[in-house]
Amino acid sequence: MGDYARRFWVPVLLSEDLPEPDGAPLRLRILSENLVVFRDSGGRAGVVAEACPHRGASLFFGRNEESGLCCVYHGWKFDANGACVDMPSEPAESNFRHKVRTKSYRTEERAGLIWAYMGPDDKAPSLPGLEIFEHPASHMSVI
CATH number where 110 lies: 2.102.10.10
Q: Which residues, at least 6 apart from 121, have a Cβ–Cβ distance to it below 8 Å? A: 106
Domain that holds residue 25: 2-139
The whole-chain average pLDDT of the chain stands at 90
pTM exceeds 0.85 for this model: yes
pLDDT 10s digits, 23-59: 999 999 999 999 999 999 999 999 999 999 999 999 9
Domain count of the fold of the chain: 1
Looking at 1-5, 70-74, 114-118, which range is the least confident one? 1-5
Residue 134's pLDDT is 74
Task: At 99, give phi and psi (nearest 5°).
Answer: -95, -10
What share of the chain has pLDDT > 90, as a percent?
A: 71
Amino acid at 31: L
Task: At 131, give phi and psi (nearest 5°).
Answer: -60, -30
Q: Give the H/E segment covering residue 2.
A: helix 2-5
Confidence band (pLDDT; 50, 70, 90) for 17?
Answer: very high
